[in-house]
Amino acid sequence: MTLRLYDLAGAEPDRRFSPYCWRIRMALAHKQLAVETIPWRFTEKAEIAASGQKLVPVLVDDELWVADSWTIANYLEDTYVDTPSLFGGIAARRLTRHYSSLADGLVGAIFPFIALDILHRVAEKDRAYFRESREKRVGMSLESFVADRDSKLPAFRASLTPLRQTLKAQPFLGGDEPLYADYAVFGPFQWARCISPFGLFEDDDPVKQWRGRMLDCFDGLARKAVAYDT
């Protein structure tokens, strides 16, 4: 039976933009597993109720519903043992948890640049929900939240220094080939390029060059997505 993945979509069904869903799209490809992705909107909570929570990604494997990107990655690793490892060993799995948590922080760091662009590209029926829930979270209108985004860019770029230093020394966080740590960090950057034309990188940034290598993985899975050329 084919795996199914509830995958956040924008106004167009093929604009898939969740950072957490992208981690799992890449992990499934790494595990050589075919998947049917189901476009899901923020307000379609009923469709994923069987998962016992309200967020995507949600993976459905036969009768089993699995939610949360870290939980899904571990489920794939433990269930599909005959395909390439996502982590590269026990110690690496534990270290990868930390990469995943750090990369969750990247979602928060990128949001001030793209929040309004998201609003403009979510499905019509999601618009009021997105504005209300996110404005409550950030404590101001989304317009005010992004108003000074250009001035915040140097600090954001500087915050990527540790990542940049690593990626200058090796092609992927996993070494010569990508591992789940790469997918965990890539998800937030792919989120941004799928939903916003705002450029986060300088052209010669090693982080951008790594992102390019990630876009080429699995026959260009992420590069072929509906996205902006940032």
Ligand X SMILES: N[C@@H](CCC(=O)N[C@@H](CS)C(=O)NCC(=O)O)C(=O)O
Q: Using the rule CB under 6 A, which residue among 9, 20, 60, 190 binds ligand X? A: 20
Q: How far is CA 18 from CA 57, 186, 189, in A?
A: 8, 11, 10
57 upstream amide cis, omega within 30 of 0? yes
Q: Using the rule CB under 6 A, which residue among 37, 69, 96, 196 binds ligand X? A: 69
Within 10 Å of residue 27's Cβ, how many Cβ atoms?
Answer: 24
Q: Cβ of residue 94: shortest distance to ligand X, in angstroms? A: 17
Q: Using the rule CB under 6 A, which residue among 8, 184, 185, 207 binds ligand X? A: 8
Residue 56 makes contact with ligand X by CB under 6 A: yes
Cα gap 24→63, rounded to integer Å: 19
Contacts to ligand X from residues 73-112, by CB under 6 A: none
Decide whether 136 or 204 has the Cβ nearer to ligand X. 136
Binding track over 117-156 against ligand X, x by CB under 6 A: ----------------x-----------------------
Task: Name the one range near ligand X by CB under 6 A: 18-26, 144-152, 167-175, 208-216.
Answer: 18-26
Beta-carbon contacts of residue 160 (< 8 Å; ≥ 6 apart): 205, 207
The burial of 194, by beta-carbon neighbours within 10 Å (0-12 exposed, 13-18 middle, 19 or more buried), is given as buried
Q: Cβ of residue 158: shortest distance to ligand X, in angstroms? A: 25
Q: What is the largest CA-CA distance in the chain?
A: 50
Number of chain positions touching ligand X (CB under 6 A): 13
Q: Cβ of residue 119: shortest distance to ligand X, in angstroms? A: 13
Cα gap 62→81, rounded to integer Å: 17
Q: Using the rule CB under 6 A, which residue among 38, 55, 92, 95 binds ligand X? A: 55
For residue 98, the surrounding DSSP H or E stretch is helix 90-121
